[in-house]
């Protein structure tokens, strides 16, 4: 017989082991789905998770995709830790891309080392300002930040669409919905010839380090954690709730904006309609899978990036739509949240007692 | 003059049709939220309903199976949410997001073989009345049975919540699960039922899109309607009748922007398309500004995890 008991304290090892369990359960669930679709599950999973990273190019692609995911998730961890549900990172990414891209187009005829930093900075500011909309509406008008940040994703997408079709479209581009290619000095330096991995990865790594500093070594980090654990305690301690909410949104918006500008100056090199394959939404999963912990998020971003690559490979070899990646991402989050049950409850397998038989 | 009136009637009919998915999804979600559960998976459940309805229509060639099947699939996918939030006590917000991501992915996976297949004509009721009566005809007649159901639903929901014992139990569970539980009410069971009902209604809302409104399957065809439905529940301050009014306003904005696009005004198409989303934000701000009003109506335990020590 099985007995469920509440744990008196949360075990730290289980806290970081359940994500691993969730990944295995996802593989299992994915295998079942492939089987139902009529594929050999082992083969299909191999195409999905092994084939894409079995050469150097694949590994570089993994890092190219993990770079924005990790960056956005790090930003989101500030929000989620303090119980602020910013789920519009996709919009902040796009808006950051728009602002950064606009500056890149402005400097189209300029060469110089200063061009790229200005673009990157303006992208971060763009994302930050866009994230401040839900933050300010939440703090001053009591508006639900989930809905506002999400609605703004659609607004940002439509704004991008308008710009690349209309005023910013390439004058020599035969009316394709895209801007000019950015000049060389507006592009992220490529790290290795022939691979797409770019300097944006350093921005991500620096951000990871800085956020670790802020979260664990500063008063702000302490405030964020306390507010996340208990709003009442935070109020009692006299923390300025409103300022903190705006700051965490600014941080996560800036991170998403950086990710956006990293994409357009990195692998893409121009603005067009689809500058992000929903990185902003997927990063929510990365943040949770990484337990809102900077180091955890690095690992989580690599795993979730693999679902993107896997979906692309599976699309080629198995003719399944690229959305299969999202099925896996959804499953990871389901299993992760579900296995959190083990954090708070002990499941005991007891032998049957005589009198119960 | 009678021609103009008739045109306005047709316009109103179109507004009503475009508000149907919002009414269905928001009414379902309203019941779920009234029981204290915040399911952010509306968009995911709708899109699953849309593809299952369409796929069943193609496979069985039977619209009844398609509609019932879409509700069942909405219900089944909401069961995942129920299992996680009610039995495994997971965070409602995160689980709902996972449901949406999963639903969009799953629908595209199922829908791969259904892209580009033309839909079937859905039977419309009282078509001759629609044509013979000016103005009132196109407003009230010539719609699908789902539209009539959707317009009755808020009134039924209102009656159900206010006047029936089951409705009272649902509200009690949403407002104070602990005292409800002490009264011998099975909180988990009530919440499960409300989640499943919400799922079925979202499934139906999706099927309305893929079977009637734009009869075909397009990836991501719900296009944020699930999120607008969620916002509607907040606007309506959890009142079913206000959901109906809100949905009509949104239907109105949608139809208005389509007409403005068709007329060819010198306003960017994208700005018009963004109107429903911008309006959602503006209305949310206006409604939420008065925090007392929101607090008065919000189910007190909304989104909170309930655990009964055994």
Going from N- to C-terminal start, the domains of chain A cover: 2-356
Answer positive or negative: Cα dihedral of B57, B63, B67, B72: negative
Domains in chain B: boundaries: 2-297
SS3 A2: strand
Angle between helices A56-81 and A219-229 (to 10 degrees): 70
Q: pLDDT value at position A316?
A: 87
Q: What is the pTM of this model?
A: 0.90
- Higher pLDDT pick, B4 / A282: A282
pLDDT score for B3: 56
**May I ask the CATH class of domain A2-356?**
mainly alpha
CB A211 within 8 A of CB A77: yes
User: Can you name the residues that pair with A345 across neighbouring β-strands?
Assistant: A6
**Under an 8 A CB cutoff, do A330 and B219 touch?**
no
Q: What is the DSSP string of A97-140?
A: HHHHHHHHHHTTT--STTHHHHHHHHHHHHHHHHHHHHHHHHHH
Using CB atoms, pick whichever of A144, A152, A284 lies closest to residue B234.
Answer: A144
Query: Distance (Å, rounded) from C-alpha A134 to C-alpha A149?
Result: 6
Residue of B nearest to A3 (CA): B310
Instruction: State the Cα–Cα distance between residues B17 and A355, nearest whole angstrom.
Output: 63
B103-133: pLDDT as tens digits: 999 999 889 889 888 888 888 888 777 777 7
Q: Distance between CA B23 and CA B29 in Å, rounded?
A: 10
Predicted confidence (pLDDT) per residue in A99-151, tens digit: 999 999 999 888 889 999 999 999 999 999 999 999 999 999 989 999 999 99
CB B13 within 8 A of CB B138: yes
DSSP states of B29-75: HHHHHHTT---TTHHHHHHHHHHHHHHHHHHH--HHHHHHHHHHHHH
Q: Determine the pLDDT at residue A298.
A: 96
pLDDT at B293 > cutoff 90: no
d(Cα B86, Cα B193) in Å, to the nearest integer? 11
What number is the average pLDDT over the span B52-72? 95
The beta-carbon neighbor of A281 closest among B101, B277, B294 is: B101
Contact criterion met (CB < 8 Å) for B109 and A320:
yes
Q: How many residues does chain B have?
A: 310
- Looking at per-residue pLDDT, the higher value among B94 and B291 belongs to B94
Q: pLDDT of B15-52, one tens digit each?
A: 999 999 999 999 999 999 999 999 999 999 999 999 99
Contact: B277, A338; criterion CB under 8 Å? no
Residue of A nearest to B289 (CA): A141
Encode chain A (357 residues) as per-residue pLDDT tens digits: 566 777 777 777 888 888 999 999 999 999 998 898 888 999 989 988 998 999 999 999 999 999 999 999 999 999 999 989 999 999 999 999 999 999 999 998 888 899 999 999 999 999 999 999 999 999 999 899 999 999 999 999 999 999 999 899 998 888 889 999 999 889 999 999 889 999 999 999 999 999 999 999 999 899 888 887 777 777 777 777 788 999 999 999 999 999 999 999 999 999 999 999 999 999 999 999 998 999 999 999 999 999 999 998 888 888 888 788 899 999 999 999 998 888 877 776 665 555 544
Res B310: pLDDT: 55
What pLDDT, on a 0 to 100 scale, did the predictor assign at position A351? 57
Q: What is the per-residue pLDDT across B134-183, written as a single tens digit (0 to 9) for each?
A: 777 777 888 899 999 999 999 999 999 999 999 999 999 999 999 999 99
CB A260 within 8 A of CB A127: yes
Q: Do B101 and A152 touch (CB under 8 A)?
A: no
For residue B14, give the 3-state DSSP assignment: helix
CATH topology of domain B2-297: ABC transporter involved in vitamin B12 uptake, BtuC (1.10.3470)
How close B139 comes to chain A (CA, Å)?
A: 30
Angstroms from B104 CA to nearest CA on chain A: 7
pLDDT for residue A357: 45
CA pair distance A217, B218, nearest whole angstrom:
49
Is the model more confident about A9 or about B210?
B210
pLDDT at res. A133: 97
**How many residues does the structure list for chain A?**
357
E strand segments, chain A: 2-6, 345-349
Read off the pLDDT of each residue in B238-262 and give the average, rounded to a whole number.
Answer: 89
Minimum-distance CB partner of B108 among A152, A155, A321: A321
Residue pair A340/B90 in contact (Cβ under 8 Å)? The answer is yes
Q: How far is C-alpha A227 from the chain's CA centre? A: 23
Residue A160, pLDDT score:
96
Query: Which of B113, B229, B274, B276 is best to mutate for the A interface (most A CBs within 10 A)?
Result: B274
What confidence tens digit (pLDDT) does each residue in A263-313 have? 999 999 999 999 999 999 999 999 999 989 999 999 999 999 999 999 988
Which residues on A lie below 8 Å from B88 (Cβ)? Answer: 337-338, 340-341
Distance (Å) from the alpha carbon of A238 to chain B's nearest alpha carbon: 22
Query: Which residues of chain B make contact with A87, given a CB cutoff of 8 A?
Result: 97
Specify the pLDDT at position A349.
64
Interface ipTM > 0.90: no
Query: Taking Cα atoms as reference points, which of A88, A47, A116, A61 lies closest to residue A313?
Result: A47
Residue A323 pLDDT: 82
């Amino acid at each position: 017989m099985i007995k469920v008991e509440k744990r008196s304290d949360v075990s730290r090892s289980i806290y970081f082991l359940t994500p691993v369990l969730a990944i295995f359960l996802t593989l299992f669930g994915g295998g079942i789905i492939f089987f139902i679709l009529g594929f050999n599950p082992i083969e299909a999973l191999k195409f999905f998770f092994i084939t894409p990273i079995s050469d150097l190019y694949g590994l570089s692609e993994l890092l190219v995709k993990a770079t924005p995911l990790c960056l956005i998730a790090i930003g989101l961890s500030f929000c989620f830790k303090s119980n602020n549900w910013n789920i519009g990172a996709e919009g902040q990414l796009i808006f950051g891309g728009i602002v950064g891209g606009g500056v890149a187009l402005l400097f189209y005829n300029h060469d110089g080392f200063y061009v790229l930093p200005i673009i990157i900075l303006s992208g971060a500011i763009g994302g930050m300002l866009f994230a401040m909309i839900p933050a300010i509406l939440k703090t001053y008008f009591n508006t639900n930040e989930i809905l506002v940040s999400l609605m703004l994703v659609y607004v940002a997408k439509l704004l991008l669409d308008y710009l690349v079709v209309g005023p910013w479209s390439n004058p020599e581009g035969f009316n394709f919905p895209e801007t000019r290619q950015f000049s060389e000095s507006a592009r992220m330096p490529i790290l290795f010839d022939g691979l797409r991995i770019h300097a944006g990865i350093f921005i991500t790594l620096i951000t990871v380090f800085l956020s670790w500093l802020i979260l664990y070594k500063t008063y702000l980090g302490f405030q964020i954690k306390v507010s996340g654990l208990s709003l009442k305690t935070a109020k009692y301690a006299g923390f300025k709730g409103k300022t903190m909410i705006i700051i965490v949104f600014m941080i996560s918006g800036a991170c998403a904006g950086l990710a956006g500008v990293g994409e357009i100056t990195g692998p893409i090199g121009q603005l067009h309609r689809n500058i992000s394959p929903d990185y902003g939404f997927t990063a929510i999963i990365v943040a949770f899978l990484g337990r809102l912990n900077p180091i955890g998020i690095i690992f989580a971003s690599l795993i979730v990036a693999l679902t993107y690559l896997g979906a692309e490979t599976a699309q080629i070899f198995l003719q399944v739509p690229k959305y299969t990646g999202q099925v896996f991402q959804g499953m990871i989050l389901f299993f992760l949240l579900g296995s959190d049950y083990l954090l708070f409850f002990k499941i005991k397998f007891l032998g049957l007692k005589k009198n119960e038989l | 003059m009678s021609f103009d009136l008739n045109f306005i009637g047709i316009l109103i009919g179109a507004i009503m049709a475009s508000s149907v998915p919002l009414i269905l999804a928001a009414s379902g979600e309203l019941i779920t939220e009234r029981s204290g559960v915040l399911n952010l998976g509306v968009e995911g459940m709708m899109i699953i309903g849309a593809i299952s309805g369409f796929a069943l229509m193609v496979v069985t060639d039977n619209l009844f199976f398609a509609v019932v099947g879409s509700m069942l699939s909405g219900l089944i996918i909401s069961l995942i949410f129920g299992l996680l939030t009610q039995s495994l006590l997971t965070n409602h917000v995160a689980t709902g997001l996972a449901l949406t991501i999963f639903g969009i992915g799953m629908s595209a996976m199922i829908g791969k073989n259904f892209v580009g297949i033309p839909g079937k004509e859905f039977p419309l009721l009282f078509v001759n009345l629609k044509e013979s009566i000016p103005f009132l005809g196109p407003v009230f007649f010539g719609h699908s049975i789902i539209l009539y159901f959707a317009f009755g639903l808020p009134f039924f929901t209102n009656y159900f919540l206010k006047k029936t014992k089951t409705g009272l139990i649902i509200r009690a569970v949403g407002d104070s699960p602990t005292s409800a539980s002490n009264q011998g009410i099975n909180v988990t069971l009530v919440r499960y039922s409300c989640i499943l009902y919400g799922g079925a209604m979202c499934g139906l809302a999706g099927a309305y899109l893929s079977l009637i409104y734009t009869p075909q399957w397009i990836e991501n065809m719900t296009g944020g309607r699930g999120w607008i439905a969620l916002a509607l529940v907040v606007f309506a301050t959890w009142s079913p009748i206000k959901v109906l009014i809100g949905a009509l306003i949104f239907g109105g904005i949608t139809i208005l922007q389509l007409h403005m696009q068709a007329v060819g005004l010198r306003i960017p198409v994208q700005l018009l398309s963004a109107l429903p989303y911008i309006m959602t934000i503006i209305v949310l701000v206006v409604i939420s500004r008065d925090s007392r009003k929101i607090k008065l109506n919000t189910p007190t335990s909304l989104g909170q995890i309930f655990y009964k020590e055994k």
